Amino acid sequence: MNVRKLVTIVEEIYREGGREVIPVARVAVVAAVIDNPWARQGFVEDLGPGIEANASQLGELLAPLVVQALGAAPEAYGKGAVVGLDGEVEHGSALIHTLKFGDHFRKAANATTLLPAVEKRGPAGVSFDVPMKHITDATIRSHHQTVEVRVPDAPHPGEIVIALAAAAQGRPQQRLASLTTEQ
């Protein structure tokens, strides 16, 4: 795994809907810009060796960093991958849609649910929205939220941006009824 850089984003929301947010809503993202292990190779049938060589290391690197940046116990979490133009969306999916990657974040967040995800291909500076859901119950609506991520100089054509996002709470000022009220 060749990491070009790490980017950490911390967002704190003090006011929403014209009202103070108490406590302040906090969201953190840590993104790694890495070389795409499959770029410029043509169609690679077996992505397994690249997954084995990179996915667990990425999860092990990013999971503690995003929890540390959040500065609180995560209540919501998500993941994302943006593949540079010399790669395939499947390359990002291969790295983030494996327990070798995700279990590091589940353990760091004391989570049990599947990690919601986004994958896309794009040029350097493309933005992407990482979806997040509650760490133990994906039906808790208050924690369904997204955070926008953009790394101005990434991904280069032969790179992938891999990001983890965590929130210390649900959406600020959330007031939707629980899902069970509609069942």
pLDDT tens digit at each of 183 positions of the chain: 899 999 999 999 999 999 999 999 999 999 999 999 999 899 999 999 999 999 999 999 999 999 999 999 999 999 999 999 999 999 999 999 999 999 999 999 999 999 999 999 999 999 999 999 999 998 899 999 999 999 999 999 999 999 999 999 999 998 887 776 666
Per the structure block, which two tokens stand in for 145? 């939220």
Is the full-model pTM beyond 0.75?
Answer: yes
CATH 3.40.640.10 fits 3-182, yes or no: no
Domain residue ranges in the chain: 3-182
Which CA distances in Å does 48 have to 94, 167, 173?
Answer: 8, 31, 43
The residue ranges of DSSP E strands in the chain, in sequence order, are: 3-16, 19-35, 76-83, 117-121, 127-134, 145-150, 159-167
Contact 78, 143 (CB under 8 A): no
